[in-house]
Amino acid sequence: MTQEHTPEPEVPAEGGLVAELERMSPQERAAHEAEVADVVAPDREIAVEVGGTLLELEDVTMAFGGLTAMDSVSFQIRRGEILGLIGPNGAGKTTCFNVMTGVYRPTRGRVLLEGKPLGRAKRNAITRLGIARTFQNIRLFGEMTALENVVVGTDARHRTSVIGALLRLPRHHREEQSAVDKAMALLEFVGIADRAADKARNLPYGYQRRLEIARALATEPKLLCLDEPAAGFNPAEKEELMGLIRKIRDDGYTVLLIEHDMKLVMGVTDRIVVLEFGKKIAEGLPAEIRDNPAVIAAYLGVPDDGAA
């Protein structure tokens, strides 16, 4: 469906972009990166009141039959921060993402984006409202190019109708071209522009993870939710990913990060929320969480009085 309307990719000649970047002086490179950042995030959230509440979970419970995956969980995500969501396996982290992105409707409680309840909004509507996510298991269109995968993400923002696309109305043309330009800028932003014309399935694993992030950013989210983006990465790749997550935040996005790797979580987040058996057991700065006895006990699998 979407494939029919996907424009022909306009990518630089092989090696062109990389070679061009290498030829630039540090000043030219900085100016170029600033231009790319402007295309990637034209409406920078960071210019708006950093620190105000962007998203709020209010007493959210999510039950599956007899199993309570989230139990009266409340926390807030502030504009411009990187919030870590951690907890042992089965703690309810992914369920939390699913509730926030409209995959599940909470059994009790509510989720508010910029003070407005998401209510019964469906997944696509929530994407348009400004929440994007990546998945634990990569979900790309393997037969489409990297560029096309990102162009598909920009579709969430398009204003022309299917009729507009079929009739090739001028607005549709303009949107198509700007979608390609934006997608290319996003690929460059996440560091994989050199493989823009390759099929997604042929990309190395680390590139696929970055492509997922570019595709999520293409929807121009207010909040970007990353579900274990470093899964399967080696230490050097994790280090690079930390750099990318910081760059995303510095470009004005708010990030919610589920991650098992403690070094990464402690190194990149501003605050952390900890879940265990569906309940929030702690919330605070990384250093506070690291020293919190309940958190240590949850990870070691012993009661927090250490009696076991």
Ligand X SMILES: Nc1ncnc2c1ncn2[C@@H]1O[C@H](COP(=O)(O)OP(=O)(O)OP(=O)(O)O)[C@@H](O)[C@H]1O
Residue 61 CB, nearest approach to ligand X (Å): 12
Distances (CA, A) of 38 to 108, 156, 251: 40, 19, 8
Residue 302 CB, nearest approach to ligand X (Å): 19
Q: Which is nearer to ligand X, 224 or 275 (CB)?
A: 275
In degrees and rounded to multiples of 5, residue 280 shows phi and psi of -80, 120
- The footprint of ligand X on residues 241-260 (CB under 6 A) is none
Distance CA 151, CA 6 (A): 7
- The footprint of ligand X on residues 120-179 (CB under 6 A) is none
Tokens of 228: 């274990």
Q: Which is nearer to ligand X, 41 or 255 (CB)?
A: 255
DSSP string of 29-96, one letter each residue: HHHHHHHHHHHH-SS-GGGS-TTSEEEEEEEEEEEETTEEEEEEEEEEEETT-EEEEE-STTSSHHHH
Closest to 251 (Cα-Cα) out of 50, 78, 28, 38: 38
x/- letters, 82..121, toward ligand X (CB under 6 A): -----x-xxxxxxx--------------------------
Distance CA 124, CA 156 (A): 8
Residue located via tokens 């070094």: 263
232 near ligand X (CB under 6 A): no
Q: Which is nearer to ligand X, 200 or 255 (CB)?
A: 255
Q: Which is nearer to ligand X, 91 or 113 (CB)?
A: 91
Residue 274 CB, nearest approach to ligand X (Å): 11
Q: What's the helix, strand, coil split of the chain in %, to 5?
A: 45, 20, 35
Q: Which is nearer to ligand X, 71 or 155 (CB)?
A: 71
Q: How many CA atoms lie within 13 A of 283 on its CB side?
A: 9
Residue 83 CB, nearest approach to ligand X (Å): 15
- What angle is formed at CA 91 by the lines to CA 241 and CA 218, rounded to 5 degrees? 40
Q: Which is nearer to ligand X, 6 or 98 (CB)?
A: 98
Residue 212 CB, nearest approach to ligand X (Å): 17
Q: How many CA atoms lie within 13 A of 207 on its CB side?
A: 20
Residue 90 CB, nearest approach to ligand X (Å): 4
Residue 93 CB, nearest approach to ligand X (Å): 4
**Interface with ligand X: number of residues (CB under 6 A):** 11
- The footprint of ligand X on residues 58-87 (CB under 6 A) is 64, 67, 69, 87
Closest to 43 (Cα-Cα) out of 221, 200, 170: 221
Q: Which is nearer to ligand X, 99 or 180 (CB)?
A: 99
Q: Give contact residues for ligand X (rule: CB under 6 A).
A: 64, 67, 69, 87, 89-95
